[in-house]
Amino acid sequence: MKPIISPSILSADFGNLARDIDMLNRSEADWLHIDIMDGVFVPNISFGFPVLKHVAKLAEKPLDVHLMIVQPEKFIAEVKALGTEIMNVHYETCPHLHRVVQQIREAGMKPAVTINPATPVILLKDIVREVDMVLVMGVNPGFGGQKFIENTVEKVRELRELITQTGSKALIEVDGGVNLETGARLMKAGADALVAGNAVFSAPSPEEMIHALKNL
């Protein structure tokens, strides 16, 4: 099965964002990955809802929204208002994760949960059947263009086993350090979806890079 490709607009040219989104609309990308950062949970701030409203108007692909923030449940209505398909929250920021997952689903979005590089897969055992997707971070969140953490491949393998054992239908997505080389290994380990930012937007032809990733 071909991977789902979700280019991250965090790596786009913000001076020419409409141009880059138009390119993604034309490309073989499946989703549009949006990273919202608060400068608290992660040491960076990305963009807020006024910018994202314009992104949502221009985008023709489903929105894959990743909230790297504390108390993401406060913004469920705002994320839904963008027309979001998948709302992704961090395990590490949700002490009442089951409730947040329910609230996301009740709002009409697909709930997803993200784990940081140091968070063990086994901690998802009691929630993995309740979510539509698990996002495994291949770098520590906060910045694009970081070096891939090698243990991510093993974590994807572990997660695939957990999903099989529990009868979960969750997809596995990987974000951080994804390129043609790491992407091929992640797909072999059991990933379904790849988030690529730097690999796409720093390529001579982003559309050709998306095509190459799509055909891993």
Tens-digit pLDDT profile for residues 102-156: 999 999 999 999 999 999 999 999 999 999 999 999 999 877 778 999 999 999 9
* Side-chain half-sphere CA neighbours of 203 within 13 A: 19
Percent above pLDDT 70 for the chain: 100
Q: How much is the pLDDT for 43?
A: 85
Q: Above 90 in pLDDT, residue 45?
A: no
The rounded distance, in Å, linking the Cα atoms of 194 and 156 is 12
Q: How much is the pLDDT for 152?
A: 98
Q: Which CATH architecture has domain 4-214?
A: Alpha-Beta Barrel (3.20)
Q: How much is the pLDDT for 84?
A: 98
113: which residues sit within 8 A by CB, 6+ positions away?
88, 89, 90, 91, 94, 97, 101, 124, 127, 131, 133, 134, 135
What's the whole-number mean pLDDT along residues 66-77?
97
Q: How much is the pLDDT for 177?
A: 95
The rounded distance, in Å, linking the Cα atoms of 76 and 87 is 8
What's the whole-number mean pLDDT along residues 70-84?
97
The residue type of 40 is V
In the residue annotation, 30 being an active-site residue is answered as no
The rounded distance, in Å, linking the Cα atoms of 64 and 34 is 6
The DSSP secondary-structure symbol of 166 reads: H
Out of 20, 38, 132, 175, pick the active-site residue. Answer: 175
Q: Which two tokens stand for residue 17?
A: 């964002």
Out of 30, 35, 64, 192, pick the active-site residue. Answer: 35
Q: How much is the pLDDT for 15?
A: 93
